[in-house]
């Protein structure tokens, strides 16, 4: 193990004085637990983890970081695969204990603090049979996912998560607490819908909710790998006909029964009326003979947790992703060939389809610009042991490179790994980048918040 360099860390006692949350530094019992994020590849040692539970905590934490020249990282749910939530020797502003939420069932709205996960959020909204577009894995944080855009099972009907964001409360680097919405700080509101943690620490998010659940039609159906080509072709035909209420995701994955068997699968969510939902699900299930059939009526919360066991915390992950206009035969062949040679029995490909509500906004309406029909291909290399790092990372990178002739311009910041952060900023923001720079200039001209898909302030 390489010895870590000794740095002059400031004493945190002054910060501790009035702090409501907890502060962990190296040597504290829980430090080694709290510093870890979802991806086991990330093993960094911050100078301190400050678990804020109020806006005043965030104000003090930012003030402390600014005065002591500490690098700032912000943690919501800790799912960012590149591990941007934690920096060696930095101050981790950890919002994971901010769990308050208030549902207004009459106006179908929720105000939610930034440390919630989608499991916690949905548990509360589902009491009222309400939901909004959120992450497909329930342990993902609402804050990072929302600020990056937000793909999910409800996006055909209700758009990306950002399309349902009504307002956000943010602590600025200077300690001011501001609100951003269509009527207040409009430029900031625009920028927060895709621009991530570039502007300040978001402490609360207000969303529009919609009638969904408590039960819906959907779930998972999986087929033997020999049927994979036909299933992916079937998925392509189905996906171009989907009504807004119906979202279908295709996957190449591995059985979780220890056999390591490769499988082709479809995940679905229908949030429309039950008769139509039954018909659409029956049509989807008309393909082939499944080896796993968990598709039918199920609780929306159950759907949200279906994938959780397959992506445990502290497994090792390396992600690549791209957009394609057409899920053509050549792309299918390439994915099949690459998946057959996956070095790990945990890796997966997910193919998400874009249709419906997300396409009805303009690219310039939100900082997140990607609103064309087509598909996202997410390549998840996942393994357990350090000795397997190299081959798995290489496998994902090579798959991504081989897909390049078929991809369109664009990148999703929430699906990026480290290398992408330095190379794909322009692809992620497209023509919205210069407007984002203007907002960055206003809120963070010195680029103190750079542990994100970084928008560089423009030098005047």
Ligand X SMILES: Cc1cc2nc3c(=O)[nH]c(=O)nc-3n(C[C@H](O)[C@H](O)[C@H](O)COP(=O)(O)OP(=O)(O)OC[C@H]3O[C@@H](n4cnc5c(N)ncnc54)[C@H](O)[C@@H]3O)c2cc1C
Binding site for ligand X (CB under 6 A): 37-38, 73-81, 84-85, 95, 114, 135-137, 140-141, 143-145, 147-148, 150-152, 196-197, 201-202, 311, 414, 451-452
Find residue 319's DSSP bridge partners. Answer: 380
- Cβ-closest residue to ligand X? 144
Pick 92 or 335: Cβ nearer ligand X: 92
* Least distance from ligand X to the Cβ atom of residue 97, Å: 12
Polymer length of the chain: 460
Pick 76 or 213: Cβ nearer ligand X: 76
**What residues contact 268, with CB distance under 8 A and at least 6 apart?**
217, 218, 219, 220, 221, 246, 247, 248, 249, 281, 284, 295
Pick 15 or 136: Cβ nearer ligand X: 136
Pick 77 or 290: Cβ nearer ligand X: 77
Pick 118 or 287: Cβ nearer ligand X: 118
* Least distance from ligand X to the Cβ atom of residue 421, Å: 10
* Least distance from ligand X to the Cβ atom of residue 18, Å: 21
Local structure of 164: helix, strand or coil: helix
Task: Count the neighbouring beta carbons within 10 Å of the beta carbon of residue 8.
Answer: 7
Paired sense of beta strands 48-51 and 91-94, if any: parallel
CA dist., res. 433 & res. 440, Å (int): 10
CA dist., res. 106 & res. 77, Å (int): 28
* Least distance from ligand X to the Cβ atom of residue 296, Å: 22
Pick 79 or 193: Cβ nearer ligand X: 79
CA dist., res. 254 & res. 150, Å (int): 25
* Least distance from ligand X to the Cβ atom of residue 264, Å: 20
* Least distance from ligand X to the Cβ atom of residue 186, Å: 19
The residue among 27, 32, 62, 58 whose CA lies nearest residue 44 is 32
Q: What is the dihedral of CA 381, 382, 384, 386, to 10 degrees?
A: 30
Pick 287 or 369: Cβ nearer ligand X: 369
* Least distance from ligand X to the Cβ atom of residue 147, Å: 5
H or E segment and range at residue 460:
none
């Amino acid at each position: 193990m390489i010895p870590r360099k000794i740095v002059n860390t400031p004493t945190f006692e002054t910060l501790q004085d009035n702090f409501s949350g907890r502060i962990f530094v190296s040597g504290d019992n829980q430090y080694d637990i709290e510093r870890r994020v979802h991806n086991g590849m990330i093993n960094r040692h911050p100078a301190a983890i400050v678990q804020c539970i109020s806006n005043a905590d965030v104000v003090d934490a930012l003030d402390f970081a600014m005065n002591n020249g500490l690098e700032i990282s912000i943690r919501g749910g800790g799912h960012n695969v590149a591990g941007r939530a934690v920096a060696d020797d930095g101050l981790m502003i950890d919002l994971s204990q901010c769990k308050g939420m208030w549902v207004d069932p009459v106006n179908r709205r929720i105000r939610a603090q930034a440390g919630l996960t989608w499991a916690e959020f949905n548990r509360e909204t589902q009491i009222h049979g309400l939901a909004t577009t959120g992450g497909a894995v329930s342990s993902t944080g609402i804050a990072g996912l929302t600020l990056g855009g937000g793909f999910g099972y409800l996006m055909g009907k209700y758009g990306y998560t950002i399309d349902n964001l009504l307002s956000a409360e943010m602590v600025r680097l200077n300690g001011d607490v501001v609100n951003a919405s269509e009527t207040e700080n409009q430029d900031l509101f625009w920028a927060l819908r895709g621009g991530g943690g570039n502007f300040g620490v978001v402490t609360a998010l207000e969303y529009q909710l919609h009638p969904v659940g408590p039960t819906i039609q959907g779930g998972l159906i999986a087929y033997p790998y020999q049927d994979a080509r036909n299933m992916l072709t079937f998925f392509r035909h189905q996906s171009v006909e989907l009504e807004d209420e119906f979202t279908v995701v295709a996957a190449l994955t591995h059985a979780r029964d220890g056999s390591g068997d490769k499988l082709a699968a479809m995940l679905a969510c229908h949030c429309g009326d039950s008769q139509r939902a039954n018909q659409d699900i029956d049509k989807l299930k008309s393909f082939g003979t499944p080896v796993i059939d968990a598709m039918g009526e199920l609780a929306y919360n159950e759907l949200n947790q279906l994938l959780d066991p397959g992506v445990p915390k502290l497994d090792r992950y390396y992600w690549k992703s791209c957009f394609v206009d057409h899920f053509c035969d050549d792309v299918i062949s390439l994915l099949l060939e690459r998946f057959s040679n996956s070095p790990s029995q945990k890796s997966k490909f997910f193919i998400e389809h874009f249709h419906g509500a997300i396409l009805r906004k303009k690219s310039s309406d939100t900082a997140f610009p990607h609103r064309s029909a087509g598909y996202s291909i997410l390549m998840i290399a996942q393994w357990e042991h350090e000795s397997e790092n190299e081959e798995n990372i290489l496998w994902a990178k090579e798959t991504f490179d081989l897909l390049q002739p078929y991809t369109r311009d664009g990148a999703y910041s929430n699906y990026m790994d480290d290398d992408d952060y330095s190379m794909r900023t322009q692809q992620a923001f497209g023509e919205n980048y210069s407007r984002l720079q203007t907002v960055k200039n206003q809120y963070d001209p010195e680029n103190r918040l750079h542990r994100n898909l970084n928008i560089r302030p423009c030098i005047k």
